Amino acid sequence: MGSHLQNSAVEDLATGIRGLIDERGLGVGDKLPSERELSELFATSRNTVREAMRMLKAYGVVDVRPKIGAVIIDRRMERVFDLFSFQTIGVSRETFADVQGFRSLLEVMSADRLIDRITDEDIAEMAGINEEMRAAADRDEACEYDFRFHLGLLAALGNRSALDVYRTMKPVILKIMVLGKQTDESRGQTYEQHEAILGALRGRNRIAYQYLAQSHLDFGLENFSTLFAEQEGG
């Protein structure tokens, strides 16, 4: 049985819009077609267009401005887009381990700075996101909230470069989160682990935070290894 997930409609559209940029020779400062025009051009829903534009914005390729629309702001980030959109075609064991290791550097090893900087308001906002994850209608929606929870940790660090890198990695991280939520039980376990992490942050307990945050990432790695074992044995 294959071990890779296919690209989502949003990822495919984001790639298509990038192709359109090249095809029309658009550069920095040029405006993209409107949301309605893109929807008609690619025969997709306007909601999918909005999500694709959010992805391109996260990559730093476009900026969406009121009354103007999407404007190209920087094409240097497209190489990063190429790297991670290629990675999202499939998540291998090696990619999974590398990404989780990188997340550990950002989320776990930064415990001292995080404990010093995170506010009660930050923690309350993340707690609300965790509740939204538990109440999500489906797995994909739950994963979006899961990503936002972890993005909250990075935002609290106050390092814009780290936050930008994390956002750029969103397609791969979401794939990992989807793979880790094959059952309702795993979603419940994720919720409980998030709650424990929040408890450590509320208590400003660095040691407990590091242990719980690393255990949470290891939990995802264990789920992924189990999934691969099942696929290879199928």
* pLDDT on residue 168: 74
Both 75 and 98 in one domain: the answer is no
Are 22 and 115 in the same domain? no
Predicted local confidence at residue 100, as pLDDT: 86
CA distance 121 to 134: 20
Residues 143 and 49 placed together within one structural domain of the fold: no
Q: How far apart are CA 107 and CA 111, in angstroms?
A: 7
Per the CB < 8 A criterion, the answer to whether 167 and 58 are in contact is yes
229 residue type, one letter = A
Residue at 2 is within a domain: no
Q: Please report the pLDDT score of residue 228 as a whole number.
A: 54
pLDDT digits (tens, 9 = 90+) for 87-100: 444 556 777 788 88
pLDDT (tens digit per residue) in 160-178 = 888 878 887 787 788 778 7
CB 226, CB 95: distance < 8 Å: no
Calculate Rg over the CA atoms of the chain: 19
> Do 223 and 144 have their domain in common?
yes
* pLDDT computed for residue 6 by the predictor: 41
The rounded distance, in Å, linking the Cα atoms of 224 and 92 is 10
Residue 49 lies in a domain: yes
Give the DSSP letter of residue 6: P
Task: Tell me, yes or no, whether 71 lies in a domain.
Answer: yes
Which pair of structure tokens corresponds to residue 1?
């049985």
* pLDDT at res. 130: 97
Classify 26 in phi/psi space as left (phi over 0), alpha (psi -120 to 50) or beta: beta
Question: pLDDT (tens digit, 0 to 9) for every residue of the chain, 234 residues total?
Answer: 333 334 578 878 888 898 898 889 888 889 999 999 999 999 999 999 988 888 788 777 888 888 888 998 876 555 555 545 544 445 567 777 888 889 999 999 999 999 999 999 999 999 999 999 999 988 888 998 999 999 999 999 999 888 878 887 787 788 778 777 766 788 899 999 999 999 999 999 999 999 999 999 988 767 666 655 555 555
**Best CA proximity match to 60, nearest among 74, 43, 49:** 74
Is residue 28 located within the same domain as residue 99?
no
Last residue within a domain, chosen from 79, 101, 124: 79
CA neighbor of 151 nearest in space, from 141, 166, 139, 161: 166
First to last CA, the chain: 6
CATH classification at residue 160: 1.20.120.530
Phi first, then psi, for residue 71 (nearest 5°) are -125, 135
Instruction: Give me the number of domains the chain comprises.
Output: 2
Is 70 found in the same domain as 181?
Answer: no
Cβ contact 46:36 at 8 Å:
yes
Burial label for 190, CB within 10 Å (0-12, 13-18, 19+), is buried
Host domain of residue 55? 9-79
Same domain, 96 and 63: no
Q: Does residue 3 form part of some domain?
A: no
Q: What is the pTM of this model?
A: 0.64
Query: Is 224 inside a domain boundary?
Result: yes
Same domain (yes/no): 128, 63? no
Q: What's the confidence (pLDDT) of residue 75?
A: 62
Do 212 and 161 share a structural domain? yes
Q: Residue 132 domain-assigned?
A: yes
Kind plus residue range of the DSSP H or E element containing 142: helix 139-157
CATH number at residue 22: 1.10.10.10
What pLDDT is recorded for position 89?
Answer: 46
